[in-house]
């Protein structure tokens, strides 16, 4: 799995990230997993043509000392579809930018 990982977080920083994600992301069925919807303008051609599969999102996994931003764009309605794909360059930049902005906003130095 391709992902952007920030590790070696202190427990207090993990709690800051947890609170942020609880306030700004949709929870997923598993503990520590969150879904962040990809903005409509960021969708690739396959994803734009699959509105019935949406919304499209990327997952964030928060562990004891890390936060992982998956670089796989998923869809809400199906497990397998051609609109599920690794992030395009622009989508990857969006995900990494989101992660970096979150850390900066929370004053987490890495």
Instruction: Report residue 31 CA to chain centroid gap.
Output: 15
Q: How confident is the model at residue 51 (pLDDT cuts 50, 70, 90)?
A: confident
Is residue 110 in a domain? no
Q: What is the pLDDT of residue 103?
A: 97
How many structural domains are present in the chain?
1
* Domain containing residue 17: 3-105
Is the entire prediction scored with pTM above 0.85? Answer: yes
Measured CA to CA, the distance from residue 84 to residue 82 in angstroms comes to 5
Q: Element (H or E) spanning 94, and its range? A: helix 89-105
Q: What is the pLDDT of residue 62?
A: 97
Q: Element (H or E) spanning 22, and its range? A: helix 11-24
Residues 16-48: pLDDT tens digits?
A: 999 999 999 998 878 889 999 999 899 988 888
| Terminal-to-terminal C-alpha distance of the chain | 22
Is residue 95 in a domain? yes
Is residue 74 in a domain? yes
Please give the residue that has the higher pLDDT: either 70 or 50: 70
**Number of neighbours of residue 78 by Cβ within 10 angstroms:** 13
Q: What is the pLDDT of residue 99?
A: 97
């Amino acid at each position: 799995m391709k992902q952007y990982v920030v590790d070696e977080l202190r427990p207090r920083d993990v709690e800051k990230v947890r609170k942020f994600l609880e306030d700004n992301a949709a929870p997923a069925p598993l503990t520590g997993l969150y879904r962040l919807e990809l903005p409509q303008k960021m969708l690739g051609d396959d994803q734009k043509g699959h509105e019935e599969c949406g919304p499209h999102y990327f997952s964030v996994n928060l562990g004891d000392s890390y936060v992982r931003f998956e670089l796989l764009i998923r869809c809400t309605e199906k497990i397998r579809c051609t609109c599920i794909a690794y992030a395009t360059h622009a989508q990857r930049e969006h995900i990494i930018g989101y992660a970096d902005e979150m850390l900066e906003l929370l004053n987490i130095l890495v």
